[in-house]
Amino acid sequence: MKALQMLWLIALVFLLGCSTSGSRKGAREDALSPSAPPPAAVKEYRIQPGDQIDIKLFYNPELNEQLTVRSDGRITLQLVNDVVAAGLTPAELTAILNQAYSSELENPKVAVIVRTSVSDKVYVDGEVNRAGLVTLTGPTTVLQSISQAGGIRDTAKTKQVLVLRKGDNGKVAAIQVDLESALKGGDRSQDIMLRPNDIVFVPKSTISNINTWIDLYIRKNIPLPIGLGYSL
C-alpha cells in the first residue's frame, strides 16, 4: 500500500510540474508576442474657404460672430481685423484668436465652431429649378438633392442623370442613374446615396459620349465651388 501511495504521489507531482511549466511558457510567449497595432488616428478637420464658422467669446458675448471663410482663406473680426483661417484646425485657430484678442481683452476665452463645412455639400446642375450647392445634413440620395434644388424641370432626361464623383486617385468617374425607374417604377436602387463633393447633373438631351461630356463640362462650363477640387 505504501508503495502504491508513493507512486500516486510521484505521478501527481509530475503532472503539476508539467502544468506549471506550460502556463509559464504560455505567459512568456504572451509577453514576447507583439501587441495589437494602435487604432488609426482620426485626421482633424481643417477649415476651408466657404466654411461657415462661429466665433464665440465666453466673457465678451458682444464680440460673438458668425462668419464665412473668404476665398482668400481669411476671416475679418472685430478688434483683430483679418486672420487666416483656412488650413487650420479649429483648435489651432482658437489658439491664434486667444493670442490676438489678449492684446485687447483681459483673459479672453475663444471657441471656434464649424457650423457648415463646404466639404459637406454636393453641386446640383442641369435641368433643375435652382442649380447650386446643396448641403448634406445627413444621408442624402440623388432624388433628395434634386428636391432641395427645386425639383426637376419638364425638359429633364431623367433616364440618364449623371453623378460625377472624384475617386481616391483624383480622377472623376461618372455614375449613370435611371431616375425615371425610381420615379415611375419604384426602383429605388437607382436612387443612390451621395458623397460629399459629388456633382449631380440632370441632362436635357441624351449624352452620347460620357467621357467627352465630362471633359467639356468639368473643364469649360461648370462654375465649381471652392473646395471641390475636381480634375481629370
- Structural domain contains residue 1: no
Residues 157 and 81 in one domain: no
Question: pLDDT tens digit string along 157-187?
Answer: 899 999 999 887 778 888 999 998 888 867 7
Residues 126 and 112 in one domain: no
pTM of structure: 0.52
Nearest Cα to 121, choosing from 232, 9, 224?
Answer: 224
Count: domains in the chain: 2
- Structural domain contains residue 171: yes
Residues 175 and 187 in one domain: yes
End residue of a domain, out of 87, 116, 145: 116
**Domain CATH for 74:** 3.30.1950.10
Residues 201 and 156 in one domain: yes
Residues 145 and 65 in one domain: no
Looking at 102-150, list the stretches that DSSP marks H as alpha helix, in order from N- to C-terminal side.
142-148
pLDDT at 138: 80
- Structural domain contains residue 11: no
Residues 145 and 205 in one domain: yes
Nearest Cα to 50, choosing from 65, 82, 81, 72?
Answer: 72
Residues 130 and 97 in one domain: no
C-alpha to C-alpha distance for 161 and 141, rounded to whole angstroms: 13
Tell me phi and psi for residue 33, to 5 degrees. Answer: -70, 145
- Structural domain contains residue 156: yes
- Structural domain contains residue 105: yes
Question: Residue 85 corresponds to which cell in the numbers above?
Answer: 483661417
Task: Write the CA distances from 131 to 122, 143, 203, 217, integer angstroms.
Answer: 11, 14, 12, 15
Residues 100 and 194 in one domain: no
End residue of a domain, out of 93, 116, 139: 116
Question: Domain of 125?
Answer: 119-221
CB atoms within 10 A of CB 182: 20
C-alpha to C-alpha distance for 31 and 192, rounded to whole angstroms: 49
What residues in the chain have per-residue pLDDT under 70? 1-42, 185, 208-209, 211-213, 215-232
pLDDT at 14: 45
Residues 150 and 204 in one domain: yes
End residue of a domain, out of 116, 139, 159: 116
Residues 150 and 202 in one domain: yes
pLDDT at 116: 80
Which residues touch 105 (CB under 8 Å, ≥6 apart)?
57, 59, 60, 79
**Domain CATH for 196:** 3.10.560.10
Question: Residue 28 corresponds to which cell in the numbers above?
Answer: 512568456
- Structural domain contains residue 34: no
CA end-to-end span of the chain? 92
